[in-house]
C-alpha cells in the first residue's frame, strides 16, 4: 500500500504533467504496484492505456464494470482486445442482475430514473472495487465535454466510506485525434460501434449515435445528464 501524503498532490501532479503517458503509468506501477488498477469501458483512450501498459511491461491489472446492459459489440470487443494484447480484464458485476433490479425497482428503470440505474449498475460496483485499490487509473480527457474540461491529471477520489483513493488520468491532456492516431499507428482495434456513429459507448438503452464537438452528446438522450456518476460521486470535495 502506498503511503503517499495527500499534501503532495499538487507537487506530484506538476511532476507527472511533464511526463509522457507511458511514464505516468510507469510511475503508477512503481508507486502503487498491485494496488493500482486500470478501469476501462473499452473506449479508444482505454485501449491506448492498456496497450501502453502492456508494451512497457507494466503488469497493471485492469477491470471493467459489466452492467448487464452492455452492447453485444462491446462484449465481443472485450474478448478481441484481450486476445490481441494477451491480457485479462476483470468484469465487475452489480449486486443486482437486470431481472432483480426490475423486480425491486420496476422494469426499465433507466427510462424513469437513470441516476438510480447508474448508481445500482455502475457506481456501487466501482465503490466495491475501489476498496481493493490505492490508485484508480481512468481514461478521462479534457476535450471530451464541457463537464470534463477541467479534469485533473492526478487527484484524490473517494471510496464509499469517504477514505482516499488516488486517481490518475494519464491521457487527460490528449485530444481525440491523438488517441485515434495512436490506434492507427499501432494497428489496434476499436469497438465497431464507433464506425456506426457512436462516439462514446455505454449501456445500450442509454447510448445513441451522435456528432458534434461534445463526444458524450449521445449519452442519456432526453435527460440533462452527461455523467453516470463514476467520476462525479467519487470526487473529493
Just list the catalytic residues: 228
Spatial neighbors of 203 by CB under 8 A, at least 6 apart, are 67, 69, 70, 71, 110, 121
Contact status, residue 181 vs residue 188, Cβ threshold 8 Å: no
CA distance 187 to 131: 35
Dihedral angle computed from the Cα positions of residues 88, 66, 136 and 186, in that order, rounded to the nearest 10 degrees: 50
Which DSSP string do the residues of 114-130 spell out, in sequence order? HHHHHIIIIIHHHHHHH
Give every strand in the sheet of 89-92, ordered side by side: 89-92, 61-65, 36-39, 135-137, 164-168, 154-158
Segments of 125-221 assigned E as strands? 135-137, 154-158, 164-168
Residue 49, classed as helix, strand or coil, is helix
Amino acid at each position: 500500500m502506498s503511503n503517499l501524503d495527500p499534501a503532495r498532490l499538487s507537487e506530484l501532479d506538476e511532476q507527472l504533467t511533464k511526463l509522457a503517458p507511458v511514464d505516468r503509468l510507469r510511475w503508477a506501477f512503481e508507486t502503487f504496484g498491485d494496488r493500482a488498477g486500470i478501469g476501462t469501458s473499452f473506449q479508444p483512450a482505454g485501449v491506448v492505456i492498456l496497450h501502453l501498459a502492456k508494451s512497457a511491461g507494466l503488469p497493471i491489472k485492469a477491470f471493467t464494470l459489466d452492467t448487464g446492459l452492455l452492447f453485444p459489440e462491446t462484449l465481443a470487443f472485450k474478448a478481441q482486445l484481450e486476445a490481441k494484447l494477451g491480457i485479462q480484464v476483470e468484469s465487475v458485476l452489480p449486486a443486482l442482475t437486470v431481472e432483480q433490479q426490475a423486480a425491486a425497482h420496476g422494469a426499465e428503470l433507466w427510462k424513469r430514473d437513470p441516476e438510480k440505474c447508474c448508481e445500482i449498475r455502475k457506481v456501487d460496483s466501482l465503490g466495491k472495487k475501489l476498496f481493493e485499490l490505492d490508485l484508480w487509473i481512468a481514461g478521462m480527457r479534457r476535450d471530451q465535454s464541457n463537464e470534463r474540461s477541467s479534469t485533473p491529471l492526478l487527484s484524490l477520489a473517494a471510496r464509499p466510506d469517504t477514505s482516499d483513493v488516488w486517481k490518475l488520468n494519464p491521457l487527460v491532456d490528449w485530444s481525440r485525434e491523438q488517441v485515434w492516431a495512436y490506434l492507427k499507428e499501432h494497428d489496434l482495434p476499436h469497438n465497431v460501434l464507433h464506425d456506426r456513429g457512436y462516439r462514446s459507448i455505454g449501456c445500450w438503452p442509454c447510448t445513441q449515435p451522435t456528432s458534434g464537438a461534445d463526444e458524450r452528446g449521445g449519452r442519456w438522450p432526453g435527460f440533462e445528464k452527461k455523467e453516470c456518476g463514476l467520476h462525479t460521486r467519487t470526487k473529493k470535495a
